[in-house]
């Protein structure tokens, strides 16, 4: 069996409403030997049945009962076989041409082991006035979603911190940089971020502040440990 070029990691919990559209957009970007690792994190709806019903051999369905997206992503990281690894949320989308644009940017940049693109944010339903200016705009997202990473960089960085139930993706991005990430820039939309009633907790200002402080303290502790 040919080893996959791309491994896409998608954690999901009770994502039946959005998972099919997400997977359709991801699978359209992959080759026949690539893999999409979906880790179900204790769903109580019909998420698992909807994933299984797609019937695509590139989908690897795993189960992780430990709570939190970090644990679900770590389970998938351990199983990933691709040369390049991407992270995706179950309710977001990939635009056409995404993978090739990122890969072209990486290969064209000497020494690069990652590539980053831009994000389009789309709101579904009522929009909080504080975020209304983002609707439909092209923005940079400070986490690992609009990106492609060499597997060797992920291996050097290690797994996500499972003690963090919020902000673990930003913390991991800090660690990727500390592990020697050299990111190529791709000036194209590579990720469509959907905001809706089920994922607004990640935009809660109090949660953002608390997780930011936690990340700063952990980063300082890691730096001190190396000196």
Cβ–Cβ < 8 Å for 145, 78: no
Could you give the angle at which helices 168-178 and 205-226 cross, rounded to 10 degrees? 30
Which positions ≥6 away from 114 have C-beta within 8 Å?
106, 147, 148, 149, 150, 153, 176, 181, 182, 183, 184
Q: What percent of the chain has pLDDT over 70?
A: 78
Fold classification of 6-226 is Spore Coat Polysaccharide Biosynthesis Protein SpsA; Chain A (3.90.550)
| Tokens describing residue 67 | 């709570």
Specify the pLDDT at position 141. 52
Distance CA 5, CA 49 (A): 27
Burial class of residue 111 in the structure, from the number of CB atoms within 10 Å of its CB (0-12 exposed, 13-18 middle, 19+ buried): exposed
Pairing of strands 6-12, 35-40: parallel
Specify the pLDDT at position 207. 62
Which positions ≥6 away from 222 have C-beta within 8 Å?
175, 178
| Tokens describing residue 41 | 């994190």
**pLDDT class of 121 with cuts at 50, 70, 90:** confident
**pLDDT class of 167 with cuts at 50, 70, 90:** confident
Specify the pLDDT at position 124. 76
All structural domains of the chain with their residue ranges: 6-226
Please determine, for residue 59, whether its predicted confidence score (pLDDT) is greater than 50.
yes
Please determine, for residue 129, whether its predicted confidence score (pLDDT) is greater than 80.
no
**pLDDT class of 200 with cuts at 50, 70, 90:** very low
R_g over Cα of the chain: 17
| Tokens describing residue 87 | 């992270």
Least confident of 76-90, 107-121, 181-195, 206-220: 206-220
Please determine, for residue 212, whether its predicted confidence score (pLDDT) is greater than 70.
no
Please determine, for residue 40, whether its predicted confidence score (pLDDT) is greater than 70.
yes
Distance CA 218, CA 120 (A): 30
Please determine, for residue 119, whether its predicted confidence score (pLDDT) is greater than 60.
yes
Least confident of 13-22, 29-38, 113-122, 205-214: 205-214
Output 225 or 213, whichever has higher pLDDT.
225
Specify the pLDDT at position 195. 78
Distance CA 227, CA 225 (A): 6
Please determine, for residue 177, whether its predicted confidence score (pLDDT) is greater than 70.
yes
The per-type count for the chain, helices as H runs and strands as E runs, is 7, 8
Distance CA 59, CA 72 (A): 15
Distance CA 39, CA 69 (A): 9
DSSP string, 98-132: HHHHHHHHHHTSTT-SEEEEEEEEEE-SS--GGGG
Most confident of 10-19, 160-169, 196-205: 10-19
Average pLDDT, the chain: 87
Please determine, for residue 201, whether its predicted confidence score (pLDDT) is greater than 50.
no
3-state secondary structure of 95: coil
Closest CA to 202 of 126, 131, 146, 152: 131
Please determine, for residue 3, whether its predicted confidence score (pLDDT) is greater than 90.
no
Least confident of 51-65, 98-112, 136-150: 136-150
């Amino acid at each position: 069996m040919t080893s996959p070029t791309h491994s896409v990691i998608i954690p999901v919990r009770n994502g039946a409403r959005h998972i099919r559209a997400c997977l359709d957009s991801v699978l359209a970007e992959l080759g026949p030997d690539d893999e999409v690792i979906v880790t179900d994190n204790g769903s109580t709806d019909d998420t698992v049945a909807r994933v299984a019903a797609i019937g695509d051999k590139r989908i690897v369905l795993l189960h992780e009962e430990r709570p939190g997206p970090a644990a679900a992503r770590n389970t998938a990281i351990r199983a990933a076989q691709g040369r390049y690894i991407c992270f995706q949320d179950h309710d977001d989308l990939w635009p056409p041409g995404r993978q090739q644009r990122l890969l072209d940017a990486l290969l064209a940049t000497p020494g690069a082991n990652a590539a980053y693109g831009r994000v389009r944010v789309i709101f579904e339903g009522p929009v909080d006035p504080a975020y209304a200016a983002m609707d439909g705009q092209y923005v940079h997202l400070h986490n690992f979603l609009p990106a492609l990473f060499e597997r060797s960089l992920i291996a050097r960085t290690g797994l996500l911190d499972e003690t963090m139930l919020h902000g673990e993706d930003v913390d991991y991005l800090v660690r990727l940089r500390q592990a020697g990430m050299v990111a190529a820039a791709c000036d194209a939309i590579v990720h469509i971020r959907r905001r809706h009633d089920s994922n607004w907790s990640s935009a809660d200002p109090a949660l953002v502040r608390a997780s930011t402080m936690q990340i700063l303290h952990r980063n300082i502790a890691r730096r001190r440990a190396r000196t």
